[in-house]
C-alpha cells in the first residue's frame, strides 16, 4: 500500500467530440482522490503520448465512441513502448464491440469499460491495479 | 361526501391516506427540477388560453389538421463505410417505406479533412459516410433523383461545402434548384457547446452560416438552411429545460447575425428549423415540444417583429435518445425507443428518427434499422394517435408542465442574454459547465440507484445477450482512398487552384461565399482543400473551456 496519489490522464483520441463520458470519469476519479489531467477532445496519439510522459502519469484512460479505437490505440501503445513507458496502465471506454475488447486487451489495454459501467468500478479497478503493481 | 376542491381533497382525503399508504419516494421532482404534484386540476393550468392548431402561438401544432393531412416524415439517419454501401442502405430504407433521407457523414468529412489526411486514420467511414469530392456524392445518390426525396445532412462546419456538392449534383441530374428540398444542420454554436466538430472561430463561422441563409433564400427556396439543435446538448447531459433554453439562445444569436448581415427577418426565418431529442420522461417530453412551439412563436413575433406567420413556426425533427440505449439487454432498447418515438408524435414532430437496439455497441445493422422504421410505421398506422390533433392538449398535467417548462426556459434565456447572448455565455463556458453538472448529477443518481436503468443498475441478467453488430469492411476504406487518388490525378488542377484562390479572396472580403464554393466543388476541389483554404483565412478554434 502507498499514499502516493495516482496520476491519471483522461484522453480523447481522434476526431470524436462525444466527451460526456470522459468528463464524468475525469471528475469522478478526482473525487476518488486521484490527480486527473483531462486533455480535451481531438487529441492525436502523439499529443496524448507526450502529455502522458510530460505529466508523468501512472494511468491513461482513453475514451472513444467513433469506432477508430483499434487504429488509434495501436499508435498510442506503440508510441509509449518506443519511449519505454510500457509501465503506464492503459484503460479504455466508449462504444467498443466485444470482439474488439479482446484484441485491445491482447495489445495491452488493461480493461475496457463499456456503456453502463459505474465510475466507482473504474476507480476501484485503477486503485487495485496500482496497488498490485507496487 | 366528495371533495369540492383540490385543497379540501388534499386535507381530507390525500393526507390521511399517505400516512398509511406511504409514497414510494420523498421527492417526485422531475429531471428538470419541476415538482410533480399528486394530481392536477383546473386551477393548475391555463388551458383556456391555449388556442388552436395552425394558429399563433402554435402550442397545439403547426398545421390545423396535423397528421390527419400527412404524417411526419420517417427519416432514419444513416451512413457508413463508403458512398457505395451507404447508397445501398438508402435504397433499402426507401424501399422499406422510409419517406426522407438523412445522411451521416464520417468525422473527417465533418471536420474538414479528406479521407487521405493523417488525422483521418481509423475514422474513414466509421461514424458515417466519407465524402471528399463530388465524385463520392455522385455515388452516394446514384439512382436517387433529388426531386423525389428530401435529404437532411448532419453537417455543420463544412455545411456550405456539402450543400454546394448537393447543388452541383442536382444540376448534373438536370433538376431545377427550386425543386430540391432538405436540410443542412449548419448549427455551429452547439458544436462549440457539445458536439465538437467545429473548425473555425465563431465570427467567421457565423458568417458562413448567414451566407448560406442568404444564398438559399435566393436560390433554393425549399431548403431548410439550419437545424438548430438541442439534441446534442441534451445528449451531453442537459435537462429538458436547458435543452430548450440553450437551443433558443443559439437561435436568437443566429437571427441577430442574419439581421446584422443585412437580411430581412422574414426573408430567412421561415426556413429555420429545429432538432430536439425524445427522451424517456414521456409527459415531460410531450410538454417540452409544445412549449418549444409557443416559445419560438413569441420570440419571433414579439422580440424580432417577424410578420410572416411561417417565421413564427418552430418546425422540428426529433430523434430518440441515444444516451438512454444500453449495451446490457439490448432488446430493451427497442421498447425504450418506441416510447420515446411516441412522445415525439404526441408532441407534434415534423420528422422522426427512431434509434436502433444495437447502437450502444455499433452502428445499426440493416435488420435493426428496419425495425426502427417499423416502429415508426406501427406508431403511424396502428396506434390511432394520428387521428386527432394534440390529443393530450387540455390535460391538466400536460398544460401545467408546458407552462412550467416554458417559464423556466425563459428564465435561463434571460440569464444567457445578460451574459451577452449565446456567444457571450459560451466564452465564459457557461452552457458547457451547466451541461456537465447536469450530466454528473444524472450519473450520481444512477450510481445511487435513485434513478433506475433497467438491465444496468436493476433487473440485471447473468446471461449476456450477444447480438450481431454492423462491422465496417476495411476494403471500403481502400476503395475510398483509391477513388480520391484518382480524382486528384484526373481533374483539371489549374482550375482547382484558381477556384481555391477565388475562395480565399471571397473569404477575406464580404461577398457571399456559396457561388464560389459551388464552382470549386464542380471542379472537384475536395472538402479538405476547401477547408484548408478557409483555415488559412479564418484560423482555427480551440476547445472552449476545457474541463
Q: Do A15 and B108 touch (CB under 8 A)?
A: yes
Average pLDDT over residues B491-518: 98
Cα diameter, chain B: 91
Q: Could you give the C-alpha distances from B26 to B9, B12, B23, B447, in angstroms and in order?
A: 20, 20, 7, 18
Q: DSSP letters along A14-83, please?
A: SS----HHHHHHHHHHHHTT-EEEE--S-B-HHHHHHHHHHTT-SEEEEEE-SS-HHHHHHHHHHHHHHT
- Would you state the pLDDT for residue B166? 98
Across chain B, mean pLDDT equals 96
> Is residue B102 assigned to a domain?
yes
Average pLDDT over residues B425-450: 96
> Is residue A110 assigned to a domain?
yes
Structure letter (DSSP) for residue B13: I
Measure the CA–CA gap between B311 and B297, rounded to whole angstroms.
Answer: 8
Confidence of residue A133 (pLDDT cuts 50, 70, 90): low
> Is residue A77 assigned to a domain?
yes
Q: Do A115 and B126 touch (CB under 8 A)?
A: no
> Is residue A82 assigned to a domain?
yes
| Chain A: closest CA distance from residue B126 (Å) | 6
- Enumerate the residues of chain B whose CB falls inside 8 A of the CB of residue A67: 122-123, 126-127, 362-363, 472
Structure letter (DSSP) for residue B105: B
> Is residue B20 assigned to a domain?
no
Does the CA dihedral B447-B449-B450-B455 come out positive or negative? positive
Q: Please, what is the end-to-end C-alpha distance for chain B in angstroms?
A: 60
In this model, does residue A11 exceed pLDDT 60?
A: yes
> Is residue B506 assigned to a domain?
no
Confidence of residue B463 (pLDDT cuts 50, 70, 90): confident
In this model, does residue B313 exceed pLDDT 60?
A: yes
Q: Do A20 and B108 touch (CB under 8 A)?
A: no
- Best of B104, B118, B127, B464 to disrupt the A interface (most A CBs within 10 Å) is B127
Q: Do A98 and B466 touch (CB under 8 A)?
A: yes
Question: Rounded to 5 degrees, what angle do the CA atoms B239, B240, B245 make?
Answer: 95
Interface subset of A 11-50, CB within 8 angstroms of B: 14-20, 23-24, 26-28, 38-42, 44
Overall number of domains in chain B? 1
Q: Please, what is the end-to-end C-alpha distance for chain A in angstroms?
A: 7
Measure the CA–CA gap between B388 and B66, rounded to whole angstroms.
Answer: 8
Measure the CA–CA gap between B416 and B424, rounded to whole angstroms.
Answer: 8
Measure the CA–CA gap between B529 and B133, rounded to whole angstroms.
Answer: 10
| Chain B: closest CA distance from residue A1 (Å) | 27
Task: Kindly report, residue by residue over B346-381, the tens digit of the pLDDT.
Answer: 999 999 999 999 999 899 999 999 999 999 999 999
CA A132 to the chain's CA centroid: 18
Q: How many alpha carbons lie under 13 Å from residue B534 in its C-beta half-sphere?
A: 31
> Is residue A2 assigned to a domain?
no
> Is residue B252 assigned to a domain?
yes
Across chain A, mean pLDDT equals 94
Measure the CA–CA gap between B162 and B128, rounded to whole angstroms.
Answer: 14
Ramachandran category for residue B467: left, alpha or beta (phi over 0 → left; psi -120 to 50 → alpha)? beta
Measure the CA–CA gap between B406 and B349, rounded to whole angstroms.
Answer: 18
Domain containing A116 — which CATH number?
A: 3.40.50.280
Average pLDDT over residues B515-538: 98
> Is residue B508 assigned to a domain?
no
Domain containing B335 — which CATH number?
A: 3.20.20.240
Measure the CA–CA gap between B402 and B517, rounded to whole angstroms.
Answer: 43
Domain residues for the domain of B324 are 47-447
Task: Kindly report, residue by residue over A59-99, the tens digit of the pLDDT.
Answer: 999 999 999 999 999 999 999 999 999 999 999 999 998 88
What number of other Cβ atoms are within 10 A of residue B259's Cβ? 16
Task: Kindly report, residue by residue over B490-502, the tens digit of the pLDDT.
Answer: 999 999 999 999 9
- Best of A12, A23, A37, A65 to disrupt the B interface (most B CBs within 10 Å) is A23
According to DSSP, the residues that pair with B129 across neighbouring strands are: B105
In this model, does residue A55 exceed pLDDT 50?
A: yes
**The complex's ipTM?**
0.95
Q: DSSP letters along B373-405, please?
A: HHHHHHHHHTS-TTSSSSTTTT-HHHHHHHHHH
* Residue B495: burial class (beta carbons within 10 Å; 0-12, 13-18, 19+): middle
- Enumerate the residues of chain A whose CB falls inside 8 A of the CB of residue B439: 20, 23-24
- Of all residues in chain A, the percent with pLDDT exceeding 70 is 96
Measure the CA–CA gap between B339 and B454, rounded to whole angstroms.
Answer: 14
Overall number of domains in chain A? 1
| Chain B: closest CA distance from residue A20 (Å) | 5
Structure letter (DSSP) for residue B454: B
> Is residue B365 assigned to a domain?
yes
- Would you state the pLDDT for residue A4? 83
Residue B190's closest chain A neighbor by CA? A17
In this model, does residue B431 exceed pLDDT 90?
A: yes
> Is residue B455 assigned to a domain?
no
Task: Kindly report, residue by residue over B13-52, the tens digit of the pLDDT.
Answer: 999 999 999 999 988 999 999 999 999 998 898 766 799 9
- Would you state the pLDDT for residue A1? 47
Measure the CA–CA gap between A49 and B106, rounded to whole angstroms.
Answer: 25
Measure the CA–CA gap between B338 and B316, rounded to whole angstroms.
Answer: 19
Q: Do B363 and A19 touch (CB under 8 A)?
A: no
| Chain A: closest CA distance from residue B498 (Å) | 30
Cβ contacts below 8 Å, chain A against chain B, sum to: 104
Task: Kindly report, residue by residue over B149-173, the tens digit of the pLDDT.
Answer: 999 999 999 999 999 999 999 999 9
Domain residues for the domain of A50 are 7-133
> Is residue B456 assigned to a domain?
no
* Residue A54: burial class (beta carbons within 10 Å; 0-12, 13-18, 19+): exposed
Q: Do B439 and A23 touch (CB under 8 A)?
A: yes
The answer to whether the bond into B57 is cis (omega within 30° of 0) is yes
Task: Kindly report, residue by residue over A56-66, the tens digit of the pLDDT.
Answer: 999 999 999 99
Amino acid at each position: 500500500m502507498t499514499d502516493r496519489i495516482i496520476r491519471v490522464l483522461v484522453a480523447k483520441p481522434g476526431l470524436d467530440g462525444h466527451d460526456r463520458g470522459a468528463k464524468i470519469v475525469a471528475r469522478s476519479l478526482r473525487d476518488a482522490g486521484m490527480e486527473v489531467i483531462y486533455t480535451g477532445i481531438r487529441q492525436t496519439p502523439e499529443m496524448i503520448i507526450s502529455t502522458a510522459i510530460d505529466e508523468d502519469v501512472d494511468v491513461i484512460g482513453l475514451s472513444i465512441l467513433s469506432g477508430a479505437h483499434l487504429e488509434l490505440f495501436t499508435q498510442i501503445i506503440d508510441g509509449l513502448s518506443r519511449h519505454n513507458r510500457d509501465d503506464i496502465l492503459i484503460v479504455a471506454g466508449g462504444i467498443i464491440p466485444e470482439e474488439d475488447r479482446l484484441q485491445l486487451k491482447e495489445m495491452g489495454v488493461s480493461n475496457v469499460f463499456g456503456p453502463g459501467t459505474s465510475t466507482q468500478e473504474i476507480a476501484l479497478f485503477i486503485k487495485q491495479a496500482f496497488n498490485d503493481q507496487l | 361526501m366528495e371533495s369540492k376542491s383540490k385543497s379540501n381533497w388534499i386535507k381530507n382525503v390525500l393526507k390521511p391516506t399517505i400516512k398509511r399508504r406511504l409514497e414510494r419516494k420523498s421527492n417526485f421532482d422531475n429531471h428538470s427540477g419541476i415538482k410533480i404534484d399528486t394530481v392536477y386540476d383546473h386551477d393548475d393550468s391555463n388551458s383556456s388560453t391555449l388556442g388552436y392548431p395552425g394558429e399563433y402561438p402554435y402550442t397545439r401544432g403547426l398545421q390545423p389538421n396535423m397528421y390527419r393531412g400527412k404524417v411526419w416524415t420517417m427519416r432514419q439517419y444513416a451512413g457508413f463505410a463508403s458512398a457505395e454501401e451507404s447508397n445501398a442502405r438508402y435504397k433499402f430504407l426507401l424501399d422499406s417505406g422510409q419517406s426522407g433521407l438523412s445522411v451521416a457523414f464520417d468525422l473527417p468529412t465533418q471536420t474538414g479533412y479528406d479521407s487521405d489526411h493523417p488525422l483521418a486514420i481509423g475514422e474513414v467511414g466509421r461514424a458515417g459516410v466519407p465524402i471528399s469530392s463530388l465524385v463520392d456524392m455522385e455515388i452516394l445518390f446514384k439512382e436517387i433523383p433529388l426531386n423525389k426525396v428530401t435529404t437532411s445532412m448532419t453537417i455543420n462546419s463544412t455545411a456550405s461545402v456539402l450543400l454546394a456538392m448537393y447543388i452541383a449534383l442536382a444540376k448534373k441530374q438536370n433538376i431545377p434548384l427550386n425543386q430540391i428540398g432538405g436540410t443542412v444542420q449548419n448549427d455551429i454554436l452547439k458544436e462549440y457547446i457539445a458536439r465538437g466538430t467545429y473548425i473555425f472561430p465563431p465570427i467567421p463561422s457565423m458568417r458562413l452560416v448567414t451566407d448560406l441563409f442568404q444564398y438559399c433564400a435566393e436560390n433554393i427556396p425549399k431548403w431548410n438552411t439550419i437545424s438548430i439543435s438541442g439534441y446534442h446538448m441534451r445528449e451531453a447531459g442537459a435537462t429538458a429545460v436547458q435543452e430548450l433554453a440553450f437551443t433558443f439562445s443559439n437561435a436568437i444569436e443566429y437571427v441577430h447575425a442574419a439581421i446584422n448581415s443585412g437580411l430581412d427577418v422574414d426573408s430567412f426565418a421561415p426556413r429555420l428549423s429545429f432538432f430536439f431529442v425524445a427522451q424517456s420522461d414521456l409527459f415531460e417530453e410531450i410538454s417540452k415540444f409544445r412549449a418549444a412551439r409557443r416559445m419560438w412563436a413569441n420570440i419571433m413575433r414579439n422580440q424580432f417583429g417577424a410578420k410572416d406567420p411561417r417565421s413564427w413556426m418552430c418546425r422540428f425533427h426529433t430523434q430518440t435518445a441515444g444516451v438512454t440505449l444500453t449495451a446490457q439487454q439490448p432488446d430493451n432498447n427497442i421498447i425504450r425507443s418506441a416510447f420515446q418515438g411516441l412522445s415525439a408524435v404526441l408532441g407534434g414532430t415534423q420528422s422522426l428518427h427512431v434509434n436502433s437496439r444495437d447502437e450502444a455497441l455499433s452502428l445499426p445493422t440493416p435488420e435493426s434499422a428496419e425495425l426502427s422504421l417499423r416502429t415508426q410505421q406501427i406508431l403511424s398506422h396502428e396506434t390511432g394517435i394520428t387521428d386527432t390533433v394534440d390529443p393530450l392538449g387540455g390535460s391538466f398535467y400536460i398544460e401545467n408542465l408546458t407552462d412550467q417548462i416554458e417559464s423556466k426556459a425563459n428564465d435561463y434565456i434571460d440569464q444567457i442574454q445578460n451574459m451577452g447572448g449565446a456567444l457571450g455565455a459560451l466564452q465564459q463556458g457557461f452552457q458547457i459547465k451547466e451541461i456537465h453538472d447536469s450530466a454528473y448529477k444524472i450519473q450520481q443518481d444512477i450510481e445511487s440507484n435513485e434513478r433506475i436503468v433497467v438491465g444496468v443498475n436493476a433487473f440485471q441478467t447473468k446471461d449476456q445477450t450477444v447480438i450481431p453488430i454492423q462491422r465496417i469492411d476495411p476494403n471500403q476504406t481502400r476503395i475510398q482512398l483509391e477513388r480520391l487518388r484518382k480524382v486528384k490525378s484526373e481533374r483539371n488542377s489549374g482550375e482547382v487552384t484558381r477556384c481555391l484562390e477565388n475562395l480565399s479572396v471571397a473569404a477575406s472580403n464580404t461577398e457571399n461565399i456559396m457561388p464560389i464554393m459551388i464552382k470549386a466543388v464542380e471542379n472537384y476541389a475536395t472538402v479538405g482543400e476547401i477547408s484548408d483554404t478557409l483555415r488559412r483565412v479564418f484560423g482555427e478554434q480551440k476547445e472552449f473551456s476545457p474541463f
